[in-house]
Amino acid sequence: MNTTIDRILEEKIIMIARNIPKDKLPALAEALYRGGIRLMECTFDASGKTPDEETAASIASLVKQFEGRMLIGAGTVLTEKQVRLTKEAGGRFIISPDVNEDVIKESGRCGLVSIPGALTPSEATAAHRAGADFIKLFPVGSLGAPYVKALCAPLSHLRFLAVGGVGLANARTFLDAGALGVGMSISAEDKDALARGDLAAIEARARALVEAVK
């Protein structure tokens, strides 16, 4: 677990793969890796259209593909079952949109890094008390870097990641405000590039993100 925490602190960017066709995931991940991305989140489907087991299979496939070169985790984790599926698939971290104490504690029992979503000081401290390793400030984009700076001042003992509305143009400002990392969704441009097989474009945008953040 400590190794995963260290990698998140070092790499600072978690790319969020949501609604990506499973047959396109390997190529997407490889392009991101060539661009310098080392952390990727595959999201569970809260609507239930994609079974949890299918998402877990995608995580397992990526874990096998990269063999530790890129750390793979799960996103939109809302249940303890999804935590266990992620563990079985070889995932390394659990990201949720909310503060669910059962999910946080199950993540700890499974030896996975817990990153629940919170926005207010009360939510953030509740997540920390439940055992969260990082706090995903979400959705933080509309509130901006000043909000992150204000929150970090009294809660400097918490590890915050800025997620939701974070991209190339503003990622650095959130880090400068006190966030220790950022979560960024695969952009519409990258999805279009993936659909037409333009992996070089995805790699180039990933490299630009890495350079902006580091």
Q: What is the mean pLDDT of the chain?
A: 96
Share of the chain above pLDDT 70, in %: 100
pLDDT score, position 44: 97
pLDDT of residue 167 exceeding 80, the answer is yes
- Catalytic center residues: 41, 136
Averaged over 181-188, what is the pLDDT? 94
In 3D space, the residue among 45, 63, 46 whose CA is nearest the CA of residue 54 turns out to be 45
Contact 174, 182 (CB under 8 A): yes
pLDDT classification of 160: cutoffs 50, 70, 90: very high
pLDDT of residue 1 exceeding 80, the answer is no
Share of the chain above pLDDT 90, in %: 96
Residue-number span of the structural domain to which 183 is assigned: 2-213
The C-alpha atoms of residue 12 and residue 210 are separated, in whole angstroms, by 9
pLDDT tens digit sequence for 55-101: 999 999 999 999 989 999 999 999 999 999 999 999 999 999 999 99
pLDDT score, position 197: 94
How many domains does one find in the chain? 1
24 by Cβ neighbours in 10 Å (0-12 / 13-18 / 19+) ranks as middle
Contact 137, 159 (CB under 8 A): no
pLDDT of residue 128 exceeding 80, the answer is yes
Q: What is the pTM of this model?
A: 0.95
pLDDT score, position 68: 87
Averaged over 42-63, what is the pLDDT? 96
Q: What is the CATH number of the domain that holds 141?
A: 3.20.20.70
